Amino acid sequence: MTNYVRLPIALYRGADLNSEYDVTIPDLPNCSTSGETLERALENAKEAALLRMEEIIFCGRTFPELLPIEEHLDNPDYENCSSWAEIDVDISGLKKLRAGKN
């Protein structure tokens, strides 16, 4: 069975239309990535989020609270964000990883 978690992401892009898209995932500390195109940046964000979640489990840390985009809009850390989006991350494999830690 496939399980997904929906995460908000902050997208940044420079004034130069040839610049990459930078992505920050506010609900996962120290989780960011980029991509040459929007599509690639979104795919990279899914991969980065999954890797960060695996690291949280492996290190025995507690998952941070996952918040909707609206909870991040007034956060000054993201005032330079160009736009917001949401990604769906397949977390099916995390259950096996978590079970292996117990």
- Higher pLDDT among residues 27 and 14, named by residue: 27
CA 62 vs. chain centroid, Å, equals 16
Residue 17: what pLDDT?
72
DSSP 36-83: SSHHHHHHHHHHHHHHHHHHHHHTTPPPPPP--GGGTTT-GGGTT--E
Report the C-alpha gap between 90 and 47 in whole angstroms: 10
Reported as a single tens digit per residue, the pLDDT across 6-17 is 999 999 997 777
Domain boundaries, the chain: 4-101
pLDDT band at residue 24 under the 50/70/90 scheme: very high
Reported as a single tens digit per residue, the pLDDT across 32-82 is 999 999 999 999 999 999 999 999 988 999 888 999 999 999 999 999 999
Q: Which fold has domain 4-101?
A: Double Stranded RNA Binding Domain (3.30.160)
| pTM given for the model | 0.86
| 85 DSSP β-pair partners | 9
